[in-house]
Structure 1
Amino acid sequence: MGRTNPFSTTYEEDTPDEVLVRDINNGSKASLNGLILRHQPFIYNIAWKMVNDPVQAEDLTQEALLKIITNLGSFHGQSSFRTWAYRIVRNHFLNDRVKPSNQFAASFEELGQLLDGSPDVSLTAEERAEKAEVIGEVRLQCLSGMLLCLTREQRLIYIIGDIFNADHHVGSEIMEISRDNYRKKLSRARKDLHNFMQHKCGLVDKSNPCRCHKKVTVALESGRVDAKNLLYNRKEFSTFKAALAPDADYLVDESEQLYTELHRQHSYQTTFEKKNFLELILESPQWRGRLHLD
């Protein structure tokens, strides 16, 4: 990925965030672009998992980054920059009231009923090999649907704490709650998610009847999955697991590792358009003057 996970205890960049902020406040456009490009992928991928829609995620990312940029003057080192910035992200994501457009179940009970009511169509070994990419799409779509069954706060804590593997100190600072409370909230989110998977998902318990490949035919016929326009299982996407720092501390116990590993296989977008929306905005004389950029 080329960037250090900001939720890791080992987070460190060649040019610290605080130095970039100082230079931005002195009028450096290059430092502002550097700060944006450093944090945009992380903010976007949190947003994508929060709303399960790439377009909505782009909007949330843009809005959160603009809030960070326009409030840089109020950052005086009272905390680390990552804590300060991701608190802004947290507030924006939790207060956003736009319902995820791709939410096909509002609760675990509803999702379970949907899976139970979806006919199984077995595939031959040859068909499974032929449709491997689509099977992967169904798996990732289902995992994303599970996240949307958590409350907003649970979802954000689980994404930061288990998928991004945030240290409890870092996670509690961003959420602005005690470490004990953070651990309790993360544990509850895990329990709700893992309990559903334990009773429904064939990936964690082979005695469960639900299998991704058996749902492919119905998903294609219903239009829920478009084989020509996959949203998650694209070759250009990475995974959260690949994006994590290699020396990250694994905070889940051994019995929960399988669940976490599955969710760390969520798609992670690493590349974005060369000229993103913020670069276009920063070319505007109005914004350049407002931010005192050189």
Structure 2
Amino acid sequence: MATSVPDSVLIQQVIEGNTAAFALLVARYQSLAFHIAFKLLRHRQMAEEATQDAFLKAYRGLAAFHGEAKFSTWLYRIVYTTAISHTRRKQLHTTSLSDDNAANYPLADDARTQFQTLAHHDQKVYLEAALATLPPDEALLITLFYQHEHSVEEISQIVGLSKANIKVKLLRTRRKLYTVLHHLLKQEIADLL
């Protein structure tokens, strides 16, 4: 079965001219590749375009892949840089939270308690709303680490930052999320009363 064929075998087949093998790699990784692009671009059509561009770049550069990292990590790095270049080209503007807001970290316990009492679906809605307030690169780090369970080392390779920098950014971003969730939940309670 195609899903049991290791990436290394498919890569070798592509290098030898079997383009159908690349279609299997695309099918295997397109979902998360699109998700990475979408988190950064926050626009479906642009994310689709960036994902296609990234797969084209990966196809053209496949002979240069030497296996120092997993193929998926190498590919996601291409997706990340392609999406970043698309943001620069399109000059997207995002609203960011200042680090001053994250300084109110004591709110985290209150937000965590409120958040845990919500139904799973409601938690997801609030979490997505909170993630949408973050700069795209911070939202992507949280998504890669928590939702897709990539290691700090893999994320470091994908986004091109040091492991220490990734850890610091994850900590700061979690603090921002706690603050945003606290305000969202506080507003929801006020609206209910």
TM-score of the two chains, using structure 1 as the length reference: 0.49
Note if contact 1:52-1:144 (Cα within 8 Å) is conserved in structure 2.
no
The reply on whether 1:106 has 2:95 as its aligned counterpart is: yes
Cα RMSD (Å): 2.8
Note if contact 2:153-2:163 (Cα within 8 Å) is conserved in structure 1.
yes
> How far apart, CA to CA, are the structure 1 residues paired with 2:140 and 2:187?
29
- 2:139 is aligned to 155
Shift of 1:87: 1.3
> How far apart, CA to CA, are the structure 1 residues paired with 2:75 and 2:157?
11
- 1:201 is aligned to 184
Which 4+ residue blocks in structure 1 deviate beyond 3 angstroms?
Answer: 142-146
> How far apart, CA to CA, are the structure 1 residues paired with 2:154 and 2:50?
22
Shift of 1:29: 2.1
Map 1:1-294 onto structure 2 (within 5 A): 14-97=4-87, 98=90, 106-108=95-97, 140=125, 143-198=127-182, 200-202=183-185, 208-210=186-188
- In structure 1, the gaps of 5 or more residues are 1-12, 110-135, 203-207, 215-294
> How far apart, CA to CA, are the structure 1 residues paired with 2:25 and 2:147?
23
> How far apart, CA to CA, are the structure 2 residues paired with 1:176 and 1:45?
18
1:99–1:150 Cα change, 3 Å:
farther
Q: Which has the larger radius of gyration?
A: 1
1:52–1:151 Cα change, 3 Å:
closer
- In structure 2, the gaps of 5 or more residues are 99-120
Amino acid at match of 1:162: Y
Shift of 1:162: 2.0
- 1:228 is aligned to none
1:47–1:93 Cα change, 3 Å:
same
Note if contact 1:50-1:148 (Cα within 8 Å) is conserved in structure 2.
no
Shift of 1:95: 2.6
Note if contact 1:44-1:57 (Cα within 8 Å) is conserved in structure 2.
yes
Amino acid at match of 2:72: R
Note if contact 1:51-1:148 (Cα within 8 Å) is conserved in structure 2.
no
> How far apart, CA to CA, are the structure 1 residues paired with 2:64 and 2:176?
38
1:174–1:48 Cα change, 3 Å:
closer
Q: How much identity, in percent, do the aligned residues show?
A: 27
Between the two proteins, the alignment pairs up a number of residues equal to: 164
Shift of 1:144: 4.2
Shift of 1:146: 3.4
1:184–1:161 Cα change, 3 Å:
same
1:108–1:72 Cα change, 3 Å:
same
User: Which is helix-richer, 1 or 2?
Assistant: 2
